[in-house]
Chains A and B, each alone.
Chain A
Amino acid sequence: MAEAQAGHRLFKMEIITPERVVLEEEVEGVVLSSPEGFFGILRGHAPFIGGLSIGVLKYRKDGKLHWIATDNGVFEMSENRLRILADAAERGEDINVLRAKEAYDRAKQRLGQRYEDLDHLRAELALKRSLARLKAASGGV
């Protein structure tokens, strides 16, 4: 009975990058980062197409939370199928924390110096990305 109820709440989530399908799962709920802020999705959500931004995507499956670092992209929810097309995506457990921390420190240091605008923008993006990866690796904190 409880199982049937859980099945009732599930919907399909696919995370796809230009290289490959990163994840394909039946999930209970998703919260992702969009340019407008956090965006929560449950089964039965109205058809929706929106933007995905650099940040952490959180989803629940079998009552457990999982984290994924995402790059920019787009997502679409229709008929209980959530398709996330991200420029890059990495599962929290696959992230090399040491490397993410290094990238974070590097970006932070670069932001401290005053360079041309373009470099500044790139460092800012690098900082956002590394921060998202660190968060995803450590469970969203």
Chain B
Amino acid sequence: MAEQVRDIKRRIRSIKSTQQITKAMEMVAAAKLRRAQEKAIAARPYAREIQDMIQRLLPAIDTIHPLLTPRKEHRVCYVALTSDRGLCGGFNGQVSRYTQLLLAQHQENAVIIVGRKGRDYFRRRGYRLLAEFVAVGDEPTVAQTREIAQALLDLYNKNLIDEINLVYMEFVSAGKQRPAVAKLLPLEVQPASEESEHDLLLDYFFEPEPEAVLDMLLPRFIVGKIYSALLESKASEQAARMIAMGAASENALEMIDQLTLSFNKARQAAITKELSEIVGGADALRG
């Protein structure tokens, strides 16, 4: 009996320490989520300005740029953005499963993974990864992004793949993220907005010539797009982790309550038993 009481006590202590960890992780994730969101917002002007500039530039371009032209062959590559670390609920599972579905659509589809969790997922299932990037960390840098962008551009320019899509968890709110696909290459420049429509009427001077300027802009546009997606994926990861750890802390609390109840019951039973033994003993002596 006393042993059972001690066992329960030990379990309560163990769950309490787990709860402390999940609570701390929840708070850390909340702080990192805010940081990721701030960075994502700060990065927006660059991506927008590059896109606008390309739009204003295109009317001056006569030749067809390879990065803007869809190809006849269609080997589609999906770049899945996952995390390096777990304990973030369904985050990695959702991106990976979604990517798997996309890959299953065509035999020639190829896959590139960012993040350890996604890499492990696809390796376990025997997929051949065209490239992999791990240890991106909690705050992706532009330098890391350039490395990824360069590798993708190389594969594309060598005609090893004909289309590149990013698959990542879109950040809807702290409580909601969903898998999303964004086409990276060939670039689809959206139709000019009204404001830039007006700018098209301006007669621009270019130095160097427009084609050379476009060559400078396009890789930077790709870097901007990947960087935005990486930051959004990070925000989603931290949000998912925050929610998952919050739920874990809740569950721990529930378990502690239940175990405390069992603990008290067991203790009560032990006392009752001891008492009845003493009373029984006394009765026997008197007998």
The CA-CA distance from A72 to B42 in the complex, in Å, is 20
The CA-CA distance from A140 to B64 in the complex, in Å, is 41
Interface set, chain B 225-268, CB cutoff 8 A to A = 227
Interface-side segment among A78-86, A90-98, A104-112:
A78-86
Contacts of B42 in A (CB 8 A): 19-21
Count A/B pairs, Cβ under 8 Å: 84
Task: Evaluate whether A74 and B46 lie within 8 angstroms (CB atoms) in the complex, with A50-B207, A51-B207, A51-B208 already known.
Answer: no
Contact, CB under 8 Å: B207 / A36: yes
Contacts of A115 in B (CB 8 A): none
Task: Evaluate whether A49 and B49 lie within 8 angstroms (CB atoms) in the complex, with A19-B39, A20-B43, A74-B220 already known.
Answer: no
How far does the Cβ of B285 sit from chain A's closest Cβ, in whole Å? Answer: 86
Interface set, chain B 188-214, CB cutoff 8 A to A = 199, 202-208, 210, 212-213
The CA-CA distance from A20 to B49 in the complex, in Å, is 12
How far does the Cβ of B113 sit from chain A's closest Cβ, in whole Å? Answer: 23
Task: Evaluate whether A16 and B46 lie within 8 angstroms (CB atoms) in the complex, with A47-B203, A50-B206, A78-B199 already known.
Answer: yes
Interface-side segment among B50-58, B97-105, B269-277:
B50-58
Task: Evaluate whether A49 and B220 lie within 8 angstroms (CB atoms) in the complex, with A18-B145, A19-B42, A34-B207 already known.
Answer: no
How far does the Cβ of A89 sit from chain B's closest Cβ, in whole Å? Answer: 11
Task: Evaluate whether A47 and B204 lie within 8 angstroms (CB atoms) in the complex, with A18-B227, A19-B142, A21-B42 already known.
Answer: yes
Name the residue of chain B whose CB is nearest to the CB of A88: B142
The CA-CA distance from A17 to B143 in the complex, in Å, is 12
Interface set, chain A 13-35, CB cutoff 8 A to B = 14, 16-21, 34-35
Q: A87 on the interface (CB 8 Å rule)?
A: yes
Contacts of B145 in A (CB 8 A): 18
Contacts of B50 in A (CB 8 A): 85
The CA-CA distance from A78 to B145 in the complex, in Å, is 30
Name the residue of chain B whose CB is nearest to the CB of A34: B207
Contacts of B212 in A (CB 8 A): 51
The CA-CA distance from A79 to B220 in the complex, in Å, is 24
Interface residues of B, CB < 8 Å — how many? 29
Task: Evaluate whether A49 and B46 lie within 8 angstroms (CB atoms) in the complex, with A18-B142, A18-B227, A74-B220 already known.
Answer: no
Contact, CB under 8 Å: B213 / A51: yes
Q: B5 on the interface (CB 8 Å rule)?
A: no
- B101-123 Cβ-contact flags toward A at 8 Å (1 or 0): 00000000000000000000000
Contact, CB under 8 Å: A49 / B57: yes
Q: A121 on the interface (CB 8 Å rule)?
A: no
Name the residue of chain B whose CB is nearest to the CB of A36: B207
Contact, CB under 8 Å: B56 / A49: yes
Contact, CB under 8 Å: A49 / B53: yes
The CA-CA distance from A17 to B42 in the complex, in Å, is 10
Q: B216 on the interface (CB 8 Å rule)?
A: yes
Q: B223 on the interface (CB 8 Å rule)?
A: yes
Q: B24 on the interface (CB 8 Å rule)?
A: no
Contacts of A83 in B (CB 8 A): 49, 53
Contacts of A79 in B (CB 8 A): 199, 202
Contacts of A14 in B (CB 8 A): 45
Contacts of B205 in A (CB 8 A): 46-49
* The residue from B45, B213, B223 contacting A49, defined by CB atoms under 8 A apart: B213
Contacts of B206 in A (CB 8 A): 48-50
Contacts of B142 in A (CB 8 A): 17-19, 87-88
Known: A20-B42, A76-B53. 20 other contacts (CB 8 A): A14-B45, A18-B142, A36-B207, A46-B203, A47-B199, A47-B202, A48-B206, A49-B53, A49-B204, A49-B205, A49-B206, A49-B210, A73-B220, A76-B56, A78-B56, A78-B199, A78-B204, A79-B199, A85-B53, A88-B142
9 A-B pairs in the complex with CB atoms less than 8 angstroms apart: A16-B49, A17-B46, A18-B224, A20-B43, A46-B205, A49-B206, A50-B207, A85-B50, A87-B220
